[in-house]
Amino acid sequence: MARDGLGEYRSKRDLARSGEPGGGAPGELPRFVVQRHDASTVHFDFRLEVGDVLKSWAVPKGPSTDPRQKRLATPTEDHPLDYASFEGTIPEGYGAGTVVVWDTGSYRNLTEHRGKPVEMADALERGHVKVLLEGSKLTGAFALTRTPMRGREEWLLVKVDDEGADRRRNPARTQPESVLSGRTNADLAAERENGR
Ligand code: MN
């Protein structure tokens, strides 16, 4: 992933107008966040805290709890750490629309290569990470693997078959609301419409 640092993030936005975060400091445990973003299309932004940024992918269909489902994950620019708790309306410009924190929590890096642990930055460089998510909707291990596709850099997000796997659940569809506020993208849009 060549999109290192926050230069691209800042160049795409006027933060004074968009109301989005610009910084943040690492906590005790690294965090993950999945944001449901209703912009020009509805998608889920999957982000992992790595060093001082959130490594990010756009997942059109959202994460699945079914290990048989491979979900396309397109890398996007690094985001600031404070983005992990951001929800609200982006009034104009890049990504204009509503964002809710669909799931969040801490994660652990389980990536190994030939039986030895691999640090997140190296794992991303190599194109494969395995992370254990401790979220509300998503629990257990997920694998993200780079895959050559249509001449672009695409990744696949797949649930590892463990205790957090469930072939019947479909939380991306049945649980659209924020884990922080209980609100949906539609709620946020309506609040803005009503001037609240
Ligand atoms: Mn997005």
Whether pTM > 0.85 for this model: the answer is yes
Q: 157 with 57: CB under 8 angstroms?
A: yes
Query: Could you list the mean pLDDT of each consecutive 10-residue stretch along the chain, which spans 196 residues?
Result: 77 87 85 96 97 97 98 96 94 90 97 96 97 98 91 93 96 97 96 78
Percentage of the chain lying above the pLDDT 90 cut: 78
Closest CA relative to residue 58, chosen from 164, 152, 122? 152
Q: What is the tens place of the pLDDT at every residue in 6-39?
A: 999 998 998 888 888 888 888 789 999 999 999 9
CA of 43 to the centre of ligand 1 (A): 6
Ligand 1 centre distance from Cα of residue 61 (Å): 12
